[in-house]
Amino acid sequence: MSSPDLGEAERRAVAEVLATPFLSMGEQAKEFERAVCQTSGAAHAIAVSSGTTGLHLCVRAAGIGPGDLVLTTSYSFIASSNVLLYENAVPVFVDVDVRTGNIDPDRLAQAARQLTEGGKPAQTWLPRRAAAAKKPKAILAVDVFGQPADFDAINAIAKAHDLTVIEDSCEALGANYKGRPAGRLGEFGVYAFYPNKQMTTGEGGVVITDDEEAANFMRALRNQGRAEGDTWLQHTYLGYNYRLPEISAALGRAQINRLEEMLSKLALPLRKLSEDHDIIVEGHTDDQGNDARNLKLSKSRAAAVRDYLVNAGINADRLDSEGYGETKPIDDNKTKVGREANRRVEFMVLEQSGDGCPRPAAAPPP
């Protein structure tokens, strides 16, 4: 999570669009989609008005409809469940792995198996008002706080039960899972560009996929249901206005050109804490080679880290020794470290246990 990083390139890109009469359905959105394909390696990108609308298009493309069961995480922003409810599908909530905050593959496998087999065990997964039990239709997995879920296990479960996999990678642009980019780990992936994301278009998102037929379908749906070849008053499908405006697309093009630079800035506070003060960054990184965006600290370390961040010019009031917390930059960073680290860092604070997070040799300076 971050604050917007906007400069002269972004202002110039927006101004150039404003100097033209083309504010919607123009070349900026197409060029932005090409840039997303180049960055992600996906064959197709569909620029949309938000990450939520992108997820909704994925739900439609997956053929999810009334009464269909979709296995999803119990810990997420509400949008990943709302998009299922839009189609009267049934979200089946699966608990998370305490180390990562992402959907637990063992519980996911259990849910898929018991729902497929039916009977009394299946009922324990369903809401009380669910209709007659069906077999699961899809998995909607979320990369929480930019940390990819365990997609090798998720895809194995999906293959065993013939499930479509949608990856909510709205917070994970630039992250990797075993050398593969987040967003490319299921049939469909979605990035979001709200101002608290790694890059921003103000509001906006993009769907990525290698499925050409599904991509064409989603392009039609985002444009009021007009399929390729339809005239202005022809509409093949029941669609939506989910288009990304040209101003937003131009901003996105400028931002994606700076993505590596901005990701490096986002990683700076974690690097300084781990390298300069011997604080251990622990979790998914060790097991799966991901670029974790989370620190895991024992309670005994939270106060010391909070003091260090405050002295670096970063408001850490919300770093809570009792649970989840986050830090926010302050407007007038007064130190070099504070100015360079004018980004938000997400923290997961855990109880110290026998094999818990190791303590550094010395506490950060007061």
Instruction: Evaluate if residue 353 carries a pLDDT over 70.
Output: no
**pLDDT reading at 15 higher than 70:** yes
CA pair distance 155, 101, nearest whole angstrom = 18
Confidence label for 1 from pLDDT (cuts 50, 70 and 90): low
Rg of the chain over Cα atoms, rounded to whole angstroms, equals: 22
In this structure, of 43-47, 190-194, 253-257, 275-279, the range with the lowest mean pLDDT score is 275-279
3-state secondary structure (DSSP) of residue 228? coil
Please report the domains of the chain, with CATH numbers, ordered by start residue: 8-259 (3.40.640.10), 260-350 (no CATH)
Look at strands 176-177 and 328-329 and give their pairing. unpaired
Q: Dump pLDDT digits (tens) for 196-206.
A: 999 999 999 99
Q: What is the pLDDT of residue 325?
A: 43
> What DSSP letter does each residue of 68-89 carry, written as one string?
-EEEEESSS-THHHHHHHTTT-
Q: What HEC string does 271-312 produce?
A: HHHHHHCCCCCCCHHHHHCCCCCEEEEEHHHHHHHHHHHHHC
pLDDT at position 243 over 80: yes
Tell me the per-residue pLDDT of 269-316, one tens digit each, with 9 for 90 and over. Answer: 666 666 655 454 443 443 444 444 445 555 556 677 777 767 766 666
Do residues 67 and 38 make contact, with C-beta atoms less than 8 angstroms apart? no
Instruction: List strands edge to edge, sheet with 324-326.
Output: 294-298, 346-350, 324-326
Mean pLDDT estimate for the chain:
82
pLDDT for position 350: 33
- pTM value? 0.79
Express each pLDDT in 121-158 by its tens digit: 998 898 876 655 678 999 999 999 889 999 999 999 99
Please state which of the ranges 163-167, 187-191, 212-216, 360-364 shows the lowest mean pLDDT: 360-364
Amino acid at 65: G
Residue 31 has pLDDT above 80, yes or no: yes
